[in-house]
């Protein structure tokens, strides 16, 4: 099997040769942010939006990262893996750490230093060109810590997912004390109610979603109304359809929550419309990028 290539501090190299210090602050104290991006035929979808969110997260750690460096990391690792595996679509994960800490200082180790930037690539979990399989979910109490930051400190999400799988589901939906659904552990949530798309806004305490934004931008062109408002658990359970959105998987049908079927318990027609529109938008952006003259930063 061909070894994936990674980008580590301005160099592309095989994954087994990449090394990060044991004193790296993302490892030692969770001081890091990350982004995941869908890559079709070597083209990272909505790269600028992901880079902007990564830079905002880095700024919260006291780091100022040049956008061109992050774009270079993503595009170079995507291109290198495309050369190794022509025709294979994948996902790039971009990670920004606060760099090495001085172990003689108290954790987290003082002011942020020189960042460590890593970009890795892996193939899609499902075959390219095929829709993602439907998923089920359970609701779990809680919310994402520091919801405005896509932090490498993913333990709350991992514990929620572990609980979901112990309860026989694929995904966990965080739910507040008011019985309103916020987001999934690794995705945003949309409910379809009488042709309206209802999705909680970020100001309720969840991570803004790049993929979610794309889907909601496309919805009016399909004759669908978008409502960014609180989503009560009972509304979700009574919805005609539901779906999850994430960069790695796109638009995924959510067919049951807490063992209650959503609609008829199968992927619905509005999910299909949005999935197809999302894939068409990704293809359009890829074609536009291929037609543009190459630039060098």
Span 85-102, average pLDDT: 90
Dihedrals phi, psi of 284, to nearest 5 degrees: -60, -45
Average pLDDT value for residue range 233-261: 97
CA distance 209 to 150: 10
Average pLDDT, the chain: 92
d(CA 175, CA 186): 14
DSSP letter assigned to residue 126:
S
Distance separating alpha carbons of residues 6 and 171, to the nearest angstrom: 28
- For the cut 80, the answer to whether the pLDDT of residue 216 exceeds it is yes
Q: In the prediction, which pLDDT does 106 show?
A: 73
Instruction: Kindly list the domain boundaries of the chain, sorted by start residue.
Output: 5-123, 135-283
Band of the pLDDT at 295, cuts 50, 70, 90?
A: low
What region does 292 belong to: left with phi over 0, alpha with psi -120 to 50, or beta? beta
**Tell me, what's the pLDDT at 114?**
87
Residues 6+ apart with CB under 8 A from 62: 98, 111, 112
Query: What are the structure tokens assigned to 124, written together?
Result: 């899609």
* pLDDT score, position 293: 60
**CA 60, CA 185: separation in Å to the nearest integer?**
22
pLDDT at 9: 84
**pLDDT over 90, % of the chain:** 79
Provide CATH code, domain 135-283.
3.20.10.10
Q: What is the pLDDT of residue 296?
A: 45
Question: What pLDDT is stored for residue 292 in this prediction?
Answer: 67
Q: How confident is the model at residue 149 (pLDDT cuts 50, 70, 90)?
A: very high
User: Is it true that 5-123 and 135-283 share their CATH fold?
Assistant: no
Lowest-confidence pick of 118-122, 256-260, 288-292: 288-292
The pTM of this model reads 0.92
Q: What is the CATH number of domain 5-123?
A: 3.30.470.10
Distance of CA 230 to the CA centre of its chain: 21
Could you tell me what percent of the chain has a pLDDT over 70?
94
β-pair type (250-257, 135-141): parallel
Report, as an integer, the average pLDDT of 243-253: 95
Give residue-wise pLDDT tens across range 45-93: 999 999 999 999 999 988 999 999 999 999 999 999 999 888 788 999 9
Give the integer Cα–Cα distance in Å for 297 and 291: 18
């Amino acid at each position: 099997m061909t070894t994936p290539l990674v980008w580590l501090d301005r160099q592309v190299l095989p994954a087994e040769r990449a090394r990060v210090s044991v004193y790296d602050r993302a490892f030692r104290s969770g001081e890091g942010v990350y982004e995941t991006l869908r890559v079709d035929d070597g083209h990272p979808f909505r790269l600028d939006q992901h880079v902007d969110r990564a830079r905002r997260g880095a700024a919260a750690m006291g780091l100022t990262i040049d956008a061109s460096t992050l774009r270079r990391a993503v595009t170079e690792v995507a291109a290198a893996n495309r050369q190794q595996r022509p025709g294979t679509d994948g996902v790039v994960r971009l990670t920004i750490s606060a760099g090495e800490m001085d172990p003689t200082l108290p954790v987290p180790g003082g002011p942020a230093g020189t960042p460590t930037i890593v970009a890795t690539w892996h193939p899609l979990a499902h075959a390219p060109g095929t829709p993602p399989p439907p998923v089920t979910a359970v609701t779990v109490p809680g919310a994402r810590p520091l919801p405005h930051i896509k932090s490498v400190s993913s333990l709350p999400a991992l514990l929620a997912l572990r609980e979901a799988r112990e309860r026989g589901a694929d995904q966990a939906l965080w739910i507040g004390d008011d019985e309103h659904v916020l987001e999934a552990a690794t995705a945003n949530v949309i409910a379809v109610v009488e042709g309206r798309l209802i999705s909680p806004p970020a100001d309720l305490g969840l991570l803004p979603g790049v993929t979610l934004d794309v889907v909601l931008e496309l919805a009016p062109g399909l004759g669908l109304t978008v409502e960014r408002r609180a989503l009560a658990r009972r509304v979700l359970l009574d919805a005609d359809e539901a779906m999850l959105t994430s960069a790695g998987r796109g638009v995924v049908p959510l067919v049951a929550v807490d063992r209650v079927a959503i609609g008829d318990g199968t992927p619905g027609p509005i999910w299909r419309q949005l999935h197809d529109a999302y894939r068409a938008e990704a293809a359009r952006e890829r074609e536009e990028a291929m037609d543009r003259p190459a630039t060098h930063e």
